[in-house]
Amino acid sequence: MKRIASFEVNHDILQEGMYISRIDGDIVTYDIRMKKPNGGDYLANGAIHTFEHLFATFARNGEFSENVIYVGPMGCRTGFYLLLREKVGHEDALALVKDAFRFIVNFQGEIPGSQPYECGNYKEHDLQSAKDDAREILSILEHWSKEEMVYKTE
């Protein structure tokens, strides 16, 4: 079988940050790497779940809501994928992610979509850990630029 593009990225040198993973037609996949791959520190399931609910809710209710295709966690538990229509632009995508993570850090109240009739695993949420994870990556992304969104090869 053909090797998929994400397996071509050298995870030994990949650092936390936000990267343009691929462009397929008018869809851009962003790799929001919140933890260093194979670093021994991974996102916990409850935090991932809460983060996903908050991130997706924020992204689908904002300025670019019509251009949000998907928000979801990586199976390796080191970050999230964000798929947007290309017309959003890389700088706007980065701004959207920063705003979403600020929203998560400051979130108070009931997690959207966390009732049994809305969610397939409503008991596994961890708001505090989601806030901590958002705060940690936000400290990196606050100084991130469009030029840094390209995977390093060395």
* Domain spans, the chain: 10-140
Residues 84-134: tens digit of each pLDDT: 999 999 999 999 999 999 999 999 999 999 999 999 999 999 999 999 999
Rg over CA atoms, the chain: 15
pTM (predicted TM-score): 0.93
Strand ranges (E), the chain: 17-24, 27-33, 68-73, 79-85
Given the DSSP bridges, would you call strands 27-33 and 68-73 parallel, antiparallel or unpaired?
unpaired
Band (138; pLDDT cuts 50, 70, 90):
very high
Dihedral, 47, 103, 85, 125 alpha carbons, nearest 10: 20
Q: For the domain bounded by 10-140, which CATH number is listed?
A: 3.30.1360.80
